[in-house]
Each structure stands twice: as structure tokens, then as C-alpha cells.
Structure 1
Amino acid sequence: MTSARTGPGRGGVKGARRPQVRLPALEEFGGAELEPDGDYDGLEFRERDLAGQEGGGARFMDCALRGCALDGTGLRHARFLDSVLAGVTGVGTDLAESTLRDVELTEARLGGTQLYGAVLERVLVRGGKIDYLNLRQARLKDVVFEGCVLVEPDFGGARLERVEFVDCALRSADFTAATLKDTDLRGATELSVAGGVDRLSGAVISTGQLMDLAPVFAAALGVRVED
């Protein structure tokens, strides 16, 4: 696995390093269901119904999950390394305090996914829609959200470094108590902030986004705007 930068970045912002996952020849997963602390290496999970299964603490190395159902799947403390999750769906997937390193998540349809306290490093989220994503207290480094829709994502208390939003709709995001560094919001096609606008230091926005967010900034500063 190698990683590549998107470029030197604009306006002095350091660009995120994207994962370049190159999977080996994979074997089909032949087990009945996931196991806690399981060790999965070089396996493909294709259109498997993993809803409600418990795989907490499991390790996925050089794996592909394609079209799998993850409703209520327990993956707390799991580790996904050099892996691909494509077209996964689910509500209430528990990935709290998990690790995603060199991972591509594409065309996902998820709701209420729990990633609080998780570590995301060199992760690409491309396409799809994720509602109510819980990233509270998570650490994101070299993460790119591209061409996706994020509805009410919660970054409360999270640390974001070299995070980019490219052609991505970011709706009612909460940055309360978050820490941002080299976070590039300029590529977001939609940007609305429900909380933590005072924590956007370390982020870069466009002039148009500044105008759109002016009422939020004014409210945070206690400024009344009247004509």
C-alpha cells in the first residue's frame, strides 16, 4: 500500500495524503458470522448480511466488504487496515474507538454510525450518504470526504488535521470543542454549521462560504445585523 498527496494545497494549506489501496487476490469469507477479536486477512465479504453480528476487536487486513448490510453490527475497537468498504449499508453500526488506516469507503448508505473516539488515518470517503455520523472525540488525519453527503455530522471534541471536503455536502455540522488544523472546507458544495463556529480556527473557507456563514459568525459574536 502506498499513499499519495492531493498536491501541495492551496493558500498554504497542507493537502491530505490519500490512501491507494491495492488489494491482493482475495478469498471469499467462508465463516457463518463475524467473531469478536477475529483475525481476517485477505478476505472478501460480498453482499453478506452482517446485521446484528458482533465483531468487536476484530482485525481486517487487506479485506474488501462489498454490498454488506451492517445494521447494528458491533465493531467497537475493530481495526480496518489497507481495506475497502464499498456499497455498505446500515443503521446504528458501532465502530466506536475503532481504527481505520489506509481505507477507502465508497458509495456507503449509513445512518447513525458510531465512530466516536475512533482513529482515522489516510481514509477516503467517496460518494454515498451518511446521516448523523458520530465522530465525537475522534482523531482524523489525512482524511478526504469526496462527492458524498453528510447530514448532521458530529465532530464534537474531535481533532482534524489535513482533512479535505471535496464536492461534498456538509449539512448542519457540529464542531463544538473540535480542534482543526489544515482543514480545507472550500470544496464543499454545501456548508452549514449548527454548532462550534468558534472552533473553525485552523480551517480554510471560501469567500462565498464566508458570506453564507456570516449570520452564524455574527450570532456567535453577539453582533446584531440590522438594515
Structure 2
Amino acid sequence: MRFIGTQLDMSSFRQARLEDCVFSECSLRQADLRQTTLSSTDMRGSDLSEANFNGAILDNADLRDATLLGLDVTQLTSFEGLKVSADQLTDIVRPLGIRVFPRAR
């Protein structure tokens, strides 16, 4: 399945198996992705603001340059090998209690 630049705000994919799918440059604001398997899914550049990922599997998913506002990795079932951009790290690790600082010179 491939979605390129598609408006999918508030869509429900709950419990779907979407391995190896492409959601490139899509808007998935407030989408219901609970218990969804998104292994090896390409979501680069998509807006995932406030999407519900509780219980989702994001193993080897590519979220580089995606908007991740509200993503709580502690609510994921698994995220081994998750790909993110360096500037997304702060938002990803915040729920784990980790603070990221710029390199000291």
C-alpha cells in the first residue's frame, strides 16, 4: 500500500497490519494507529501530530523528518531499529526522562 501526500487526518488504522507500507509526506494528524503493526513502514516527512500509537509496533519504521508531536515511545509495543532524524531525538526520548543537550565545545 502506498500513500503519497495524502490527507488521512483522524483516520482509523486500529489493529491493521501495515508492514512495508509507504505514508510519504502524508497528514495523519490525530490518526488512530493503536495496536497497528507498522514494521518497516516509510512515514518520512509525514505529520503524525497527536496520532495515537498506543500498542503499535514500529520496528525498523522510518520516521525521519516526520512531525512527531505527542509520540510517546513508552506506549509502543516495540520500536527496535526505528529511524529518526537527529533533530527529532529530543521529542522521542523526553517520555523516557532523557534530556538531550547540544555538544559542549
TM range (shorter): 0.7 to 0.9
Equivalent AA in structure 2 for residue 217 of structure 1: L
* Residues in 2 aligned to 1:147 and 1:204: alpha-carbon distance in whole angstroms: 16
Equivalent AA in structure 2 for residue 212 of structure 1: D
Deviation string for 1:102-139 (max 9, x for gaps)?
Answer: xxxxxxxxxxxxxxxxxxxxx11111322211111110
Aligned-pair CA distance for 1:156: 0.9
Q: Of 121, 124, 134, which aligns to 2:2? A: 124
The question of whether the paired residues in 2 share the 8 Å contact of 1:192 and 1:213 is answered with: no
Map residues 122-201 of structure 1 onto 2, 5 A cutoff. 123-188=1-66, 190-195=67-72, 197-198=73-74, 199=76, 201=79
Query: Which structure 2 segments of 5+ residues have no match?
Result: 99-105
Deviation string for 1:65-87 (max 9, x for gaps)?
Answer: xxxxxxxxxxxxxxxxxxxxxxx
TM-score, with length taken from structure 1: 0.38
* Structure with the bigger percentage of strand: 1
* Residues in 2 aligned to 1:201 and 1:131: alpha-carbon distance in whole angstroms: 23
* Structure with the bigger percentage of helix: 2
Q: 1:127 to 1:157 in 2, by over 3 A?
A: same
TM-score, with length taken from structure 2: 0.75
* Residues in 2 aligned to 1:193 and 1:135: alpha-carbon distance in whole angstroms: 18
* Residues in 1 aligned to 2:86 and 2:62: alpha-carbon distance in whole angstroms: 13
* Residues in 2 aligned to 1:183 and 1:127: alpha-carbon distance in whole angstroms: 18
Which structure 1 residue ranges, 4+ long, deviate > 6 Å from structure 2?
none
RMSD of the TM alignment (CA)? 2.0
* Residues in 2 aligned to 1:182 and 1:194: alpha-carbon distance in whole angstroms: 16
How many percent of aligned residue pairs carry the same amino acid? 31
